[in-house]
Amino acid sequence: MNNSNMKSILTEYQKRRDKNIDLLENRKKEVENLIPEIKDINMHINSIGLSISKEILKGSDKKTIDLLKAEQKNLIEHKRQILKSQNIPSDYLEIKYDCDQCKDTGFLKDGSKCNCLKQIIINNAYKMSNIEKILEKENFNTFDLNQFSEEVDEEMGISPRDNMINIVKASKEFIYNFDKKVEPKKANMLFFGSTGLGKSFLCSCIAKELMDLGYTVIYQTSFNLMEIIEKYKFHRKECTDIDEENFKNLFECDLLIIDDLGTELTNNFTISELFNIINDRLLGDKRIIISTNLDLLQIGNEYTDRTISRIVGNFSMYKFMGKDIRLKQIF
């Protein structure tokens, strides 16, 4: 990522910090107007804090410093009791960060990038700056099971609605266990079935939940995925820092969602690269979700035996069923 883009991103982080500091100051004024005693206590706590710092710099004995710390601790507890008596949460007068991990700086204590910063870089690199707007519309809160029929499918022995209930449950378990060691098949998911049955929508639901938890997520169609790989491998001289970031993130992000597998131009290159990226992420214990309109037999016919072998051995497979939801909404 070039310096101009990074500077713009870090400016946004500064705006976040300024916003949250302003919100804290407003809460302080609100409480101090309601309970004037709190203002005096806050001033006293701060004054003792300065005294502790001075005594440390002077090299004062531990007993003197400990007495000051004890006095400060008693004042903090007294303030907490006052707030509690007024039904004010104990953390109400503490700063609230958008990201608790990096305190809205974008960087962790060891100097490495926080996942929230990594996700912003990913979104910018893949021109996915509108993903937040998409996920506002496509998430578990807006997921409507009533769109799926309750009529039992004779072949499947289950209704589309009950089938979707099972898939949503599995998706939430996937999220819950995301950072836990699980058997390979529970670490990755394959959604397959006809168009318009909610596969991409559910991918968005999972992406939003994990991004909200601080994980980095790349959500790309297989067509775009192959374009990224092809540009990096065959047009290196023309590649920018962003192009290299695009390629690297495919292997390093916490979750890679490959949407619409089978819509890319299938040839020896794309077949080989699909195997490479799946295999590399599996070896690195990096999670993958694939959605496709192809069934398992068609995937086996389109791609190599080793690719389908990796999928069968390392993915939980969920068949989506019913009628095209998007057509139902139109008619």
**Separation between Cα atoms, residue 135 and residue 60, nearest integer Å:** 56
Domain identity same for 152 and 285? yes
Domain identity same for 130 and 73? no
Domain identity same for 215 and 307? yes
Residue 104 in any domain: the answer is: no
CB 187 within 8 A of CB 129: no
pTM, full prediction: 0.72
SS3 263: coil
Residue 244 in any domain: the answer is: yes
- Could you read off the pLDDT of 213-233 as tens digits, one per residue? 888 898 988 988 888 888 888
Residue 120 in any domain: the answer is: yes
Which uninterrupted H or E stretch holds 203? helix 199-212
pLDDT at position 319 over 50: yes
Residue 100 in any domain: the answer is: no
Domain identity same for 155 and 247? yes
Per-residue confidence band for 257, with pLDDT thresholds at 50, 70 and 90: very high
Distances (CA, A) of 311 to 60, 99, 120, 303: 66, 35, 30, 11
| Domain end point (choices 63, 85, 107) | 85
Domain identity same for 187 and 245? yes
Q: Which amino acid is at 116?
A: C
Domain identity same for 78 and 126? no
- Could you read off the pLDDT of 65-79 as tens digits, one per residue? 889 899 999 988 898
Return mean pLDDT, the chain.
Answer: 86
CATH number at residue 240: 3.40.50.300
Residue 69 in any domain: the answer is: yes
Domain identity same for 77 and 132? no
pLDDT at position 208 over 50: yes
CA atoms within 13 A on the CB side of 297: 0
Q: Is 260 left (phi over 0), alpha (psi -120 to 50) or beta?
A: left
Residue 99 in any domain: the answer is: no
Domain identity same for 119 and 79? no
**Separation between Cα atoms, residue 35 and residue 175, nearest integer Å:** 43
Domain identity same for 133 and 78? no
Structure tokens at 15: 């705006």
Residue 91 in any domain: the answer is: no
Domain total of the chain: 2
Which of the two residues, 40 and 235, has the higher pLDDT score? 40
**Average pLDDT estimate for 169-178:** 94
**Average pLDDT estimate for 304-324:** 89
Q: Which domain holds residue 280?
A: 115-330
> At residue 197, what are phi and psi to the nearest 5 degrees?
-110, 5
| Domain end point (choices 85, 106, 128) | 85
pLDDT at position 315 over 90: yes
Domain identity same for 136 and 46? no
Out of 8-12, 134-138, 217-221, 288-292, the most confident range is: 288-292
Domain identity same for 224 and 282? yes
Q: What DSSP state is assigned to residue 237?
A: G
Residue 102 in any domain: the answer is: no
**Residues above pLDDT 70, as percent of the chain:** 94
Per-residue confidence band for 125, with pLDDT thresholds at 50, 70 and 90: low
Domain identity same for 141 and 280? yes
Distances (CA, A) of 132 to 5, 15, 107, 209, 212: 19, 18, 21, 12, 11
Res 318: pLDDT: 95
SS3 127: coil
| Domain end point (choices 66, 85, 104) | 85
Structure tokens at 59: 């090299």
